[in-house]
Amino acid sequence: MQQQYQKNTDIVIDYMTNAGRGKGTLRVYKACFLALGEALEQERASFSAEFASAWLEIQSDGLGKTAFNLYKAALRKLDEVYQTGEIQYDHFNPEKTRFFRLRECFRELVDNFITTNNTLSPVSCMEYRYQMSDILFQFQEMGCLEVSDISYDVLFKYCHMLEARTYHVKTLMHSKLNTLLCYLYEKEMAPYGYTLFVSGISMRKIRFWDSIPPETVIRWREEQVSTKNVFSLEEYLSAGDVVFEVHEKKGYSKGCLTSVRQAINLFYLFMDVNTLKYIPEHGVQWAESIKRQVSSVEASGIRRIMILTGHAVTGMPIDLKKVFSKRITQLQKLPDWCSCYVMEFLNEKKAENMARSTISMMKSSCCRFCFFLDQIGITSFSQITSLHLKQFNLTDMHKTPAGKNAYNSRIRRFLMFLADRKALSNPFLFLALPCVSAPKETLVIVLSKEEQEHLHSLFESEDSDITLRQKAILQLGMYMGLRGVDIINLVIGDINWDDVSIRFVQEKTGYELYLPMPAEVANALYQYIVRERPVSDNPKVFLRSRAPHCELETAGACRRALEKALPERRVEGSGFHVTRKTFATNKLRAGADPGEVKEMLGHRDRANVHKYLSLDESRMKLCCLDLNERSIRLEGRFGL
């Protein structure tokens, strides 16, 4: 009995396979026959149409509509095999399919798609025909009589219908919908935005990128008439391509490039859905509107891409190193009565080519001074007196005279600037601020013997966590005494591999320095350049490890290298410069002449080297004086 049942079910399965039915249909047929066979064996019954019908009625509650119809068709075919030994009647009625229920224009569309795709297998052709017919039939049910009637509203309604389906079905139908929309665009039957639709709705919530309030969208449409900087969507896409290509040329990863393209496409889709033109400011506002729907990192990245695209479309240069901060700066917080003077003062110093750190210090000093004046009710620089300057110094947060003097010296310059602009009632007011502080002597802090030994072991190890760039930076500081700012400014041309030396101009003093390279430093530099340094036309030796592969802007990379190599070291006020101090101290302890150390460090005179002598304990003991020879008597409990 079981053998006959197995034979007849195999006949049905072979018939369905030869007819080119899909894998899903065959899987349901096999599941039906397996479950029915188990029921027959449990009841010790033979197959009959009555038994099969009663069994299917019991199973109906656990089956979906599609599975129930497939079970019903499978049992009908199996009954026919039991009756005649074969399937004689073609149970497939094409007139009942979605394809034949489509309007003629939609049927022609499906046929043309199948015909033009010669790479599809017969089974794939059947699947595409069925699934695309199902999509177009749903469009037809929504009132679409031809392709031109398909709109974004229709697409959104269809995707909302898919939300109730299983993940597998939803993903499958999204894929087929995307294929259909891309085909319509290729045939110039749909706009470009349709090709981006599926990727847009398949991310998180269906319309998370369309969260701008309707009243704002209406206002944006009105601004398109009155604003000058209005661009077409084609111009926006061209600018987006420029931004993408700049990122690609700078060596950004595939994941980052995908995020760039995705941000550009989502805003295009938003504009196309809402029939908007491109205004750069709207792109930034749109990015702000979706920050609650995405992570903070994604929101920041999308906002940055919108700003860069605005630069590209208006012809501004694209600077990937520039930071577009949303924070309100101290300058922006200044009251109107003083902000213009502070800005003019800082711009003047920039024109004098002062260092960025110097200008930053001046900005901080001037802003703090102006905030103090505003708090005590001053509304004009002409109201300032020497008593106000005294009061400012009494309330200043700095605890040391050197700290107060650092701010006072900058504020003196600002007051002299205001006097030149005739903004002060007393042009000599700057004389009320001190410009010097009492000298002080600080202890020289160097790396301990254990810390130096640990660094040596890291340099020799191949399995350490620090990178080759960090090893090279640390060895330049430890074995050659270079400042962090000079290390990051090194260029390939500064290194002479023939005589193993480095020649460069110091950032701090402007003096040229020519130093021989120890073998370990030369090897570390070579290993970094050959094995780890990104391929770039940039002449700087040390580059960012991540795109854009540009030069390091600050010496912070040197400090971070030391922190990673010595994570447990906690010495306040002692950064990467400790390697330079350690280098000088080690040279003196090894017997080097202070004049030689001065030349190695690039100092102007020996005065700055003398402070390291205090750490040379062995030679400092030779400087002790005999108190008896100097006729100095010890009294009290020290007298003998």
DSSP code per residue over 336-381: HHHHHHHHHHHHHHHHTT--HHHHHHHHHHHHHHHHHHHHTT--SG
- CB burial of 538-562 (b: ≥16 within 10 Å; e: otherwise) equals bebbbbbeebbbebbeebebbeebb
Bond into 534 cis (ω within 30): no
Instruction: Report yes or no on 640 lying in a domain.
Output: no
Residues 137 and 39 in one domain: no
Q: Of 432, 459, 479, which residue is a domain's last?
A: 432
- Coil, strand, or helix at residue 504? strand
Report the distance separating Cα 566 and Cα 454, nearest Å: 8
Phi-psi sector, 437: left (phi>0), alpha (psi -120 to 50), beta? beta
Report the distance separating Cα 210 and Cα 212, nearest Å: 6
Report the distance separating Cα 12 and Cα 230, nearest Å: 65
* Domain count along the chain: 5
| Two structure tokens written together for 120 | 């599809």
Report the distance separating Cα 257 and Cα 131, nearest Å: 32
Residues 309 and 334 in one domain: no
Residues 612 and 465 in one domain: yes
Q: Of 313, 345, 380, which residue is a domain's last?
A: 313
Residues 474 and 522 in one domain: yes
Report the distance separating Cα 288 and Cα 405, nearest Å: 43
Instruction: Report yes or no on 382 lying in a domain.
Output: yes
Residues 193 and 239 in one domain: no
* CA dihedral sign, ordered 98, 103, 106, 112: positive
Residues 527 and 462 in one domain: yes
Instruction: Report yes or no on 443 lying in a domain.
Output: no
Q: Residue 269 has what pLDDT?
A: 93
Instruction: Report yes or no on 209 lying in a domain.
Output: no
Bridge partners (DSSP) of residue 278 are 231
Q: What CATH number should be reported for the domain holding residue 455?
A: 1.10.443.10
Question: Is residue 4 within a helix (H) or strand (E), and if so which, with residue range?
Answer: helix 2-18
Name residues whose C-beta falls within 8 Å of residue 26's C-beta, 6 or more positions apart in sequence: 13, 16, 17
Report the distance separating Cα 243 and Cα 257, nearest Å: 10
Q: Residue 612 has what pLDDT?
A: 61
Report the distance separating Cα 260 and Cα 254, nearest Å: 10
Q: Average the pLDDT over each of 195-199, 379-383, 521-525, 571-575 and give the range with the smallest value.
A: 571-575
User: Which of 415, 410, 411, 409 is closest to 429 using CA atoms?
Assistant: 415
Radius of gyration of the chain (CA): 40
What mean pLDDT is predicted for residues 454-473? 90
User: Which of 495, 541, 546 is closest to 522 using CA atoms?
Assistant: 495
Instruction: Report yes or no on 563 lying in a domain.
Output: yes
Residues 466 and 595 in one domain: yes
Residues 193 and 281 in one domain: no
Q: Residue 89 has what pLDDT?
A: 58
Cα 551 to chain centroid distance, Å, stands at: 18
The number of residues in the chain equals: 640
Q: Residue 204 has what pLDDT?
A: 59
Could you list the residue range(s) of the whole structural domain that residue 423 is in?
330-432
User: For 338-361, how does the pLDDT look when each residue is reduced to its tens digit (9 = 90+)?
Assistant: 999 999 999 999 998 888 888 988
Q: Pick the residue with more confidence: 572 or 600?
A: 600
Residues 492 and 594 in one domain: yes
- CB burial of 277-286 (b: ≥16 within 10 Å; e: otherwise) equals bbbbebbbeb
Report the distance separating Cα 524 and Cα 530, nearest Å: 10
Residues 192 and 133 in one domain: yes
What mean pLDDT is predicted for residues 184-200? 91
User: Which of 272, 255, 133, 151 is closest to 547 using CA atoms?
Assistant: 255
Instruction: To the nearest 10°, report the CA torsion of 149, 155, 156, 159.
Output: 150
- DSSP for 69-132, please give it: HHHHHHHHHHHHHHHHSS--S----GGGSTGGGS-HHHHHHHHHHHHH-TT--HHHHHHHHHHH
Instruction: Report yes or no on 309 lying in a domain.
Output: yes
Q: Does 94 score more than 60 pLDDT?
A: no
User: How high does pLDDT run on average in the chain?
Assistant: 86
Q: Average the pLDDT over each of 95-104, 110-119, 262-271 and give the range with the smallest value.
A: 95-104
User: What is the CB neighbour count within 10 angstroms for residue 401?
Assistant: 15
Q: Residue 252 has what pLDDT?
A: 87
113 in Cβ contact with 75 (< 8 Å):
no
Phi-psi sector, 554: left (phi>0), alpha (psi -120 to 50), beta? beta
Cα 138 to chain centroid distance, Å, stands at: 40
Instruction: Report yes or no on 181 lying in a domain.
Output: yes
270 in Cβ contact with 210 (< 8 Å):
yes
Report the distance separating Cα 52 and Cα 155, nearest Å: 42
Residues 343 and 427 in one domain: yes
Residues 126 and 155 in one domain: yes
Q: Residue 328 has what pLDDT?
A: 75
Place of tokens 């003062």: 345
What mean pLDDT is predicted for residues 547-555? 84
* CA dihedral sign, ordered 530, 534, 537, 542: negative
Q: What CATH number should be reported for the domain holding residue 414?
A: 1.10.150.130
Name residues whose C-beta falls within 8 Å of residue 15's C-beta, 6 or more positions apart in sequence: 77, 87
When pLDDT is cut at 50, 70 and 90, the band that residue 49 belongs to is: confident
Q: Of 279, 313, 347, which residue is a domain's last?
A: 313
Q: Residue 589 has what pLDDT?
A: 81
User: For 563-576, how does the pLDDT look when each residue is reduced to its tens digit (9 = 90+)?
Assistant: 999 998 888 767 89
Q: Residue 626 has what pLDDT?
A: 64
Instruction: Report yes or no on 118 lying in a domain.
Output: yes
User: For 496-543, how does the pLDDT look when each residue is reduced to its tens digit (9 = 90+)?
Assistant: 999 999 999 998 888 888 999 999 999 999 999 999 999 888 899 999
What mean pLDDT is predicted for residues 486-500? 92
